[in-house]
Structure 1
Amino acid sequence: MKLIAQRLYLRDLEPSDIDAVHEYASSLEVVLHQEWGPNTIEQTREYVAGCVMGNSLPDRRTLELAVVLNDGSLIGSYRATLSEDGTEAEIGYSLNPRYWHKGYATEAAKRLVEHLACEFHVREIFATSRPENLASIHVLEKLGMQQIYLYRRNVLIRGEWRDTLVFSVKV
């Protein structure tokens, strides 16, 4: 699969992506608001191997996609998980900090949402963020998402109970 946008494209993760994925997956700055990480190289290998295996399934419900600039540089990844009935999907993403604040996360998300709506006929897209992750919230708002829930102290991240915001957009 290859989803082409203006400055980048999304494609299935491949075994050769381990080093580029590990560059951001091992960064505390990237995983500051995540339940996982920072990854060891072995954890990154296991993650990429799991993505490659999952992406090879003919009836996959989860898309694990690399975000790649037109020059071939892998700068992050997106995940989209379809609901059982296929009418909803949840998206999430991680980007290498060297590429933050350049509009790449929004560009990739818009292309992915378009794909989910057109190819899978998804009617609603969800995403979560921590309240203090203002950059991520800004990306979600650029997709037309609105906050629909606030879960208080529902997730444990590195020993601290944190809140979760849930965003949604109808497509």
Structure 2
Amino acid sequence: MVILSTERLILREFEKKDFPSVHEYASDPKVVKFMPWGPNSPSETRRFIENAIQNQIKKPRTSYELAIILNNDLIGGCGITIHSVSDKRGEIGYCIRRDQWGRGLGTETAAKLIEFGFKELQLHRIIAKCDTSNHASYKIMEKNGMTKEGVLREEKRIHGEWRDSCLYSILEYEWIKE
């Protein structure tokens, strides 16, 4: 079981009992504005939690979906996915409930995911992507020492519209220097 902690947060595995809190942020149109999913129906949120729980027992494990907990309150979700075990490449992502925006919690979450990726998962390269209009997300990446590599044109279909994504990355030796 993965449990990570920061100064203010606990990042832990999802559990079935998390449904109401997950559905609160996953069904909010403003929260999922730049996501290729959502706003979620109750069945979509249940399916997400079921998949996250199933990934916890897969061997080898390549997907870590974690609940973001602040003062015993589930305020969002985050994750790291290993895209290539042999090339040691992974990708992080995060989604935080709207009433918690602007408090540095995304930056803190991303920092812990990056540390977990390099220290525990032994990754060499970690990427993150966000919609080109999602200024808050790419600020999180930049604050964590990630470098903008470019723009992936029409990379995702979000709410019926093709959208460009910013691609950021950090390499293990860059992270060690910080």
- Equivalent residues in 2 for 1:146-165, closer than 5 Å: 146-165=147-166
Normalised TM-score (structure 1): 0.95
Q: Deviations over 1:124-162 (max 9, x none)?
A: 110101111000010010111111121222322122221
How much has 1:8 moved relative to structure 2? 0.6
Which amino acid in the other structure matches residue 79 of structure 2? R
Structure 1's consecutive aligned runs of 4 or more residues displaced over 6 angstroms after TM superposition are none
Structure 2 Cα separation of the partners of residues 164 and 51 of structure 1: 25
Structure 2 Cα separation of the partners of residues 158 and 125 of structure 1: 27
1:50 aligns with 51
Q: 2:90 matched to 1:89?
A: yes
Task: Give the SS at the match of 1:113.
Answer: helix
Contact 2:91 2:127 in 1 (8 A): yes
Task: Give the SS at the match of 1:6.
Answer: coil
Which amino acid in the other structure matches residue 151 of structure 1? L
Flag structure 1 segments of 5+ consecutive residues without an equivalent. none
Structure 1 Cα separation of the partners of residues 159 and 76 of structure 2: 22
Q: Deviations over 1:59-90 (max 9, x none)?
A: 21110111111x21011111111123261110
Which amino acid in the other structure matches residue 74 of structure 1? L
1:134 aligns with 135
Q: Provide the alpha-carbon RMSD of the alignment.
A: 1.1
Which amino acid in the other structure matches residue 53 of structure 2? V
Contact 2:90 2:123 in 1 (8 A): yes
Q: Percent of aligned pairs with the same residue?
A: 35
Flag structure 2 segments of 5+ consecutive residues without an equivalent. 173-178
Normalised TM-score (structure 2): 0.91
Aligned pair count? 170
Structure 1 residues 165 and 92, CA gap change in structure 2 (3 angstroms) = same
1:170 aligns with 171
Contact 2:79 2:113 in 1 (8 A): no
2:74 aligns with 74
Which amino acid in the other structure matches residue 23 of structure 1? E
